[in-house]
Amino acid sequence: MLEISNNSELPTIPNKRYFTIGEVSELCDVKPHVLRYWEQEFPDLTPVKRRGNRRYYQRQDVILIRQIRSLLYNEGYTIGGARQHLAGDSVKDDRLQSQQLIKQLRTELEDILKILR
């Protein structure tokens, strides 16, 4: 799954409700056309589509994309294998997402503390 060592090379996810495909591309180090392809291959990846068919990703989508990226690029899974792995690990994914959220909140709080000092 997405380990802290793999996550350290990626930027911190900003505290926003929605992200454009360009922002997600930079946050996850994946090209936009790959994100659009992954939407077809992974049923859990469903960004909100608005006017002009523009995609808006939420925080959980960004976390899922980072997990998919880790499975495909770091752990050597195929697309089908990654899909099966994600489908079988829903409880683990919830725990992992919670851990990632706590880590990010801690980082943000430490930054705020530095500013206050």
- Average pLDDT score over the chain: 85
Q: Which CATH number applies to 4-116: 1.10.1660.10, 3.10.580.10, 3.30.70.260, 3.30.470.10?
A: 1.10.1660.10
Q: How far apart are CA 5 and CA 85, in angstroms?
A: 20
pLDDT value at residue 1: 40
Domains of the chain by residue range: 4-116
Indicate the range of 22-26, 85-89, 95-99, 107-111 predicted with least confidence: 95-99
User: Is the per-residue pLDDT at 13 higher than 90?
Assistant: no
Q: Long-range contacts made by residues 1-8, C-beta under 8 angstroms, separation at least 24?
A: 1/67, 1/70, 1/71, 1/89, 1/92, 1/93, 1/96, 2/63, 2/66, 2/67, 2/70, 2/96, 2/100, 3/70, 4/103, 6/70, 6/74, 7/66, 7/100, 7/103
Mean pLDDT on 11-23: 91
pLDDT value at residue 2: 42
Percent of the chain's residues with pLDDT above 70 = 86
**90 falls in which pLDDT band (50, 70, 90)?**
low
